[in-house]
């Protein structure tokens, strides 16, 4: 087993990575929640039929009384109405402040269940069991929980750290190939922003079988990078902003596709390629870097560019949480493996985007 500790004072938690860990969930959770009697398990209609019974058996062996709360699979479940249904369901189940919430699924389930846990009874314990690559390397670690609003994604949320994160690489075996590669966009991101050796490691393994042969190392490396960043900047006011490399423009691509045409990973891949080109145009990013990132994404079947109107760019930039007044902070690379915040006027960014350099 590979383990990492996210050492936030008073909110420390462990990330455990091991094949077969779903069958050990009960004993692991009991160790961190010794007083809990009930667990509300939030999952979705895709993951539940695959993995709930395995987790259920383990949790019941550990003495937990379980409530199952399935939500429809997909981004559309990450909304205020679904959040309210969870709150009411938790109360009907009899959840108390000494009990806990378990998120079994991908990023949508983790964000929704985490926000529900953060807000019900003013906060109950929360455990992440991510089952997608995207969730394992990104959304399950760091404590960002949220729901979407009509104006955009993740606009209502909180910072609420889990008590434990359990990652079973075996859960990735049932992912369709596009969903697996969707997660690889965030994996490539970690190499781009923090670890050039890891970037090289990934480019030498463009196929799913090659990646799965080293999946524990991949998960550990990504989580270790995120752990370091989150420990230094839990509330996303400084260093943690580098984790958003590719996301500012990626959100524009998601918006342009009405959050249905392009997945998050596809949008981030194209967003990283676009950010690299912008960085080169601004004289921040070395000129060879955009091609290298584009080649890495293309080898994984991820898009390197997505058509987007200047109106959608403007809407996404206006909603971006890294914006302040008339300025915005873009995350750019000053070399492959090192990200830097670069502040510029929003008008200048829009001018660059309108110049068709992408």
Cα 22 from chain centre:
20
Across the range 52-65, mean pLDDT stands at 98
Q: What are the angstrom distances between the C-alpha of 220 and each of 16, 126, 134, 195, 217?
A: 9, 21, 13, 13, 5
Cα 132 from chain centre:
10
For residue 342, what pLDDT is reported? 95
Tell me whether strands 164-167 and 13-17 are parallel, antiparallel or unpaired: parallel
Across the range 237-243, mean pLDDT stands at 91
Residues 145-167 have pLDDT tens digits of 999 998 888 999 999 999 999 99
pTM, whole model, 2 decimals?
A: 0.94
Contact call for residues 44 and 109 (beta carbons, < 8 A): yes
Residues 108-142 have pLDDT tens digits of 999 999 999 999 999 999 999 999 999 999 999 99
Q: What is the DSSP string of 51-77?
A: HHHHHHHHHHHTT-EEEEEEE-SSGGG
Q: What is the DSSP string of 103-123?
A: EEESHHHHHHHHHHHHHGGG-
Mark out the alpha helices in 72-176 (DSSP H runs). Answer: 80-93, 107-119, 133-134
Residues 74-85 have pLDDT tens digits of 999 999 999 999
The encoded tokens of residue 27 equal 């004993």
| 3-class DSSP state of 332 | strand
For residue 320, what pLDDT is reported? 65
For residue 321, what pLDDT is reported? 60
Residues 295-328 have pLDDT tens digits of 999 999 999 999 999 999 998 888 666 666 789 9
Residues 211-236 have pLDDT tens digits of 999 999 999 999 999 999 999 999 88
Q: Can you tell me the distance from the alpha carbon of 341 to that of 328, in angstroms, rounded to the nearest whole number?
A: 10
Residue 125 β-bridge partners: 100
The encoded tokens of residue 94 equal 């009899």
Residue 14 β-bridge partners: 5, 164
Residue 73 β-bridge partners: none
């Amino acid at each position: 087993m590979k383990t990492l500790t996210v050492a936030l004072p008073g909110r420390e938690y462990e990330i455990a990575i091991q094949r077969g860990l779903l069958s050990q969930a009960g004993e692991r959770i009991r160790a961190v929640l010794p007083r809990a009697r009930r667990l509300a398990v939030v999952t979705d209609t895709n993951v539940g039929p695959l993995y709930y019974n395995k987790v259920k058996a383990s949790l019941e062996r550990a003495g937990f009384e379980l409530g199952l709360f399935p939500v429809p699979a997909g981004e559309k479940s990450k909304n205020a109405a679904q959040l309210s249904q969870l709150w009411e369901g938790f109360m009907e189940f009899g959840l108390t402040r000494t009990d806990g919430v378990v998120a079994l699924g991908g990023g949508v389930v983790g964000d929704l269940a985490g926000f529900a846990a953060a807000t019900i009874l003013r906060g109950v314990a929360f455990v992440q069991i991510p089952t997608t690559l995207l969730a394992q390397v990104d959304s399950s670690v760091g404590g960002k929980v949220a729901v979407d609003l009509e104006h955009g994604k993740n606009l209502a949320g909180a910072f609420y750290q889990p008590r434990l994160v359990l990652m079973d690489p075996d859960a990735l075996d049932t992912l369709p190939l596009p969903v697996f590669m969707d997660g690889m966009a965030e994996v490539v991101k970690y190499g781009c922003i923090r670890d050039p050796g890891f970037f090289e490691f990934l480019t030498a393994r463009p196929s799913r079988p090659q990646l799965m042969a080293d999946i524990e190392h991949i998960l550990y490396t990504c989580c270790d990078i995120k752990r370091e960043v989150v420990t230094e900047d839990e509330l996303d006011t400084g260093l943690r902003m580098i984790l958003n490399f590719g996301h500012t423009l990626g959100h524009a691509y998601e918006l342009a596709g009405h959050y249905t045409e392009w997945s998050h990973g596809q949008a981030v891949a194209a967003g990283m390629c676009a950010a690299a080109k912008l960085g080169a145009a601004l004289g921040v990013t070395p000129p060879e870097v955009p091609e290298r990132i584009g080649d890495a994404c293309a080898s994984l079947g991820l898009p390197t560019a997505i058509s987007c109107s200047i109106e959608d760019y403007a809407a996404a930039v206006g909603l971006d949480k890294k914006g302040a007044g008339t300025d915005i902070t873009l995350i750019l690379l000053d070399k492959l493996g090192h990200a830097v915040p670069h502040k510029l006027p929003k008008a200048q960014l829009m001018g660059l985007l309108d110049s068709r350099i992408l």
